Structure 1
Amino acid sequence: MNSPTTPTRPPTPRASTPVLVVGAGPAGLTTAITLARHGIEVIVVERRPALSGLPRAASISTRTMELLRSWGLEQEVRAGGVEVEWKQWVGPTLNAAGDTHLTSFPTREQSAVLSPTAPASVPQDHLEPVLLNHLRSFGTARVEMGTEVVGLEDRSDDVQVTLRDVETRETRIVHARYLAAADGARSTVRDALGIVMRGPGRLSQAIGTEFRAPLWELLGDRRYCIYAVTHPEAAGVFVPAGHGDRWVYGVEHELAQYSSPKPTKDQSARLIRLGSGLADLAPKIERIGTFTFAAQLADRWREGAAFLVGDAAHQITPRGGTGMNTAIQSAYDLGWKLAWVLLGWSGPQLLDTYEAERRPVAAHNVARSADPHGGARLAAHELPADLGGRIPHVWLRSRAHTVSTLDLLGPGLTLFTTDPSATWQRAARSVPGPPLVVHDLDTITARGMGIPRGGALLARPDGAPAGWWPSGTEPAAALRHAERAR
């Protein structure tokens, strides 16, 4: 017992939550949003006091935009970007003749066939606030900025995490049934779990200069996603980074011979003038930073009830624009699977499919980004990794190209049927597990999805087929088999 003169140390506050998400970047916010949309309580902690103000990743892929569309965020996200064609322009300077090449993102014409939406050129410092505001709209979510992880204990039935307020240094303990570590390339949680990253951590160094200058006026109709200039003194890339003629100019560190790690504003302005081909251009330099190209994959993405997601699980160079998209799509996958288990819609074995399904995609994108020519691959070769085998997009004939088959996917299972569908609907009402919603399709739409008359297609929330049956299948037996397989 303490003596009367000895101050009593207050006990460390404790709390519990179904899921604790560490990190409020795109991966962490996506994980939390997916959980919150299922009604799951979630706490998000982020060491930074505020979101990043850097444009960083600016290419949002087809599948990522489909997810944002499903949350009703497509227009709000696009509002912070620029309209471009997904092509690369290559020339000596921006003011010289050059060549145009296709990229691994589909063009507008290709997108119109593939998806109800299309890739978007939107800087990350616009996307993240949109995601954060959406997350905060749910009463089941709490976001705590300026909070860091300082202790971690993975126990048999939960994860005990010690959190510290960065400003006050006060600590508290949170017990989480599951932990999602989305705390970046230098993940504190990953290190605490003893998980090692494999692969080159320093492929090359680059300098990124964020600036504003009237380049769109120079480019005119050449509104593309990336411009590569080959000027011998200023070889690099110009990438649009949002509204107001905001740009990022990237150059390999080895090409810039400076005594300090990065150039001065005057030196950067000179390079931009050389690369643009406009001797009198006066760019407004807002920031100069260096970054390292890394292509690494974590040994494993799970330790007990703790999962790695985003850069904590995989580091991908900017080549090909897949890093943030891989993170968001994997975070969505983890989010809905955690939600299903917590809601009792599935057994815990579902969580084993997170790494099994998403790791091959990440490994593909990591290897591609390590290839100096990885950014030059065509959409036909890279779309399978992005779309992930989801069901086909077909516009519903009765909705005047406003509703896609992808828009019919819900938080549970979705069953697409054709006439006669009554027996499928009766069978669906008797299947236990997650909610199962039935949609009857007209013959043409069904044909577009590969469903024969009298057949059916069962889809997961991510659009991956969970069952595909021809005409003549006995519905009740088919759905019972799908339930057991799940």
Structure 2
Amino acid sequence: MADKERGNVEVVIAGAGPAGLVMALTLARYGIEVLVAEKRPRVSTLSRALVVSTRSMEILRSWGLADAVRAGAADVVPRGWVTPALASGEGREFPLGYPTSEEAARVSPAAPAWVPQDHLEPMLLARLREAASVEVRFGSRLVGVEQDAGGVRAILHDEDGGRARTLRALYVVGADGAHSTVREQLGIGLDGSPVRGGYYGVQFRAPLAAFLDGRRYGLNVITDPAASGILTPRGPGDRWHYGREHRPGQVPLVDRTTEQLTELIAAAAGVRGLRPRIESVSEFGFAAQVAERFRAGRGFLVGDAAHQMTPRGGTGMNTAIHDGYDLGWKLAWVLRGWAGDGLLHSYEAERRPVALHNVERSADPNGARCTPEEALPWDLNGRLAHHWLTRNGLTVSTLDLLGDGITVLSDPGRADPHEPPAIPRVHAPVTTHVLPPEIARALGVPPGGARVLRPDGRDLRPGGRDLPREATEATETV
């Protein structure tokens, strides 16, 4: 292991939000030496994002974290409800792009979970603390990045004591949010609208379940002009969030007294005399922007540093999670000598189109209203189809066959179905699975052939972008 005190690690990640934590966890699986520097003194205590998508749950499930995630989930239907007040009994349902458990079961071994960000982040951090190759340093702000042919110099400033230190690394990753220092240091600009509005939120506790009459939706749009806004459950108990966009002439929620907030929440709930216990009041601006580039030399951007979205559609945190996972395994392959630098070019090529789509959706006033059929392809992003099969006496998903290296799914009719195909100059370990004929057909494995897959379940041959040129021809003939 590199000596972190002397300042030598393989990857420095600025930011310990969902993107940075997921990326660090992905790198840790490969034993990559990582320092995560987070300017905050601790992980977020605000619930903020509140839904973990189907694909995000698949990633977390593959790490054995699905049950821990669902322990903090609200029991809701992942749809919206438009109503004058929560307890009015009147309203209409609308889709949010997330499938129900029954709908998800047709395409995935995992269903989305209505989980607040302040449950997810501590859980990810706890798992990361178990990784011997990763150090997470809170109260440490990255203030400078310098690159040369051999690596990067990251300048860190400790918030407690004001001490500066220089860290030498091979790569630096900006997971440091909308006002990313890494993005600024890399000289990368933003495309899109810098300010789309302001959002105010009140986190509180109140026994509202008794007034729902069985209607437990993930998002409740309150239309009463006196209390218009959004009411959302945050977790399995009586914790809720009331939020609204700022409108000219309104007194911001952060400037209202506790009594005024109590009256506003009671009106939105439609419960006279309700006395909620207010935990916090917050505000933030939101934008719809995408970085001009996701990479500059040995520096990369993930999450809000690479793209900023409004709350509409609930895709911001999930896009960030997928960024961290995607760049994580690709960077690990390169650092382990399993693939050349060309693999890293595929990060922006594959992630930026998804980010652009989700940013545009969030900028649309009706962007939250989306059917699962429309949203799921962007979430699953071309990964291997899910089917159940039996392996060693256990029922598993086809996604469970994927490993951290190359996975070969072989048709039983191949001349030697257990023999992995030759992939020149790609040195990742190969695991081969011979499939039952009906599963092979369902997955599009050609008769007598095989599919060669990456850790994310996509084919290891998208136009040769993710393989050295010498390997492309051999892989295409598999």
**2:473 maps to which of 471, 474, 481:** 481
Q: Distance in 1 between matches of 2:170 and 2:449?
A: 40
Structure 1 equivalent of residue 301 of structure 2: 308
SS of match in other structure, 1:376: coil
Structure 2 equivalent of residue 106 of structure 1: 99
Displacement of 1:214 after TM fit?
0.9
Structure 2 equivalent of residue 183 of structure 1: 176
Q: Distance in 2 between matches of 1:20 and 1:256?
A: 45
- Aligned amino acid, residue 112 of structure 1: A
Q: Distance in 2 between matches of 1:320 and 1:395?
A: 30
Structure 2 matches for 1:49-448, cutoff 5 A? 49-96=41-88, 97-254=90-247, 257-258=250-251, 262-397=255-390, 402-421=395-414, 423-428=416-421, 432-448=426-442
Give the direction of change, closer, same or farther, for the CA distance of 1:320–1:400 in structure 2 (3 Å limit).
farther
- Aligned amino acid, residue 102 of structure 2: E
Displacement of 1:293 after TM fit?
2.2
- Aligned amino acid, residue 243 of structure 2: G
Structure 2 equivalent of residue 8 of structure 1: none
Displacement of 1:384 after TM fit?
1.1
Displacement of 1:150 after TM fit?
2.3
Displacement of 1:427 after TM fit?
4.0
Q: Distance in 2 between matches of 1:308 and 1:127?
A: 21
Q: Distance in 2 between matches of 1:391 and 1:439?
A: 14
Displacement of 1:224 after TM fit?
1.6
Deviations 1:172-214, CA, capped at 9 Å, x for gaps? 1111101111011111111122211221122112211101111
- Aligned amino acid, residue 50 of structure 1: R
Structure 2 matches for 1:457-472, cutoff 5 A? 457-466=451-460
Q: Which has the larger radius of gyration?
A: 1
Bigger drift between 422-431 and 370-379 goes to 422-431
Deviations 1:218-271, CA, capped at 9 Å, x for gaps? 114212211111101111111111132111111121177227863222222111
SS of match in other structure, 2:193: coil
Q: Distance in 1 between matches of 2:86 and 2:337?
A: 57
Displacement of 1:444 after TM fit?
2.3
SS of match in other structure, 1:271: helix
Structure 1 equivalent of residue 467 of structure 2: none
Consecutive unaligned residues in structure 1, runs of 5 or more: 1-12, 469-477
Bigger drift between 239-248 and 351-360 goes to 239-248
Q: Distance in 1 between matches of 2:253 and 2:275?
A: 23
- Normalised by the length of structure 2, the TM-score is 0.93
Consecutive unaligned residues in structure 2, runs of 5 or more: 463-469
SS of match in other structure, 1:423: coil
- Report the identity percentage: 48
The alignment status of 1:45 with 2:45, answered yes or no, reads no
Displacement of 1:275 after TM fit?
1.1
Displacement of 1:83 after TM fit?
2.0
Q: Please report the RMSD computed on the Cα atoms of aligned residues, expressed in angstroms.
A: 2.2
- Aligned amino acid, residue 322 of structure 1: T
- Aligned amino acid, residue 61 of structure 1: S
Q: Distance in 2 between matches of 1:134 and 1:422?
A: 43
- Normalised by the length of structure 1, the TM-score is 0.91
Structure 1 equivalent of residue 7 of structure 2: 15
Q: Distance in 2 between matches of 1:264 and 1:143?
A: 38
CA contact (8 A) 2:16 2:36 kept: yes
**2:444 maps to which of 442, 447, 450:** 450
Q: Distance in 2 between matches of 1:128 and 1:60?
A: 12
SS of match in other structure, 1:242: coil
Q: Distance in 1 between matches of 2:96 and 2:410?
A: 36
Displacement of 1:166 after TM fit?
0.8
CA contact (8 A) 1:229 1:236 kept: yes
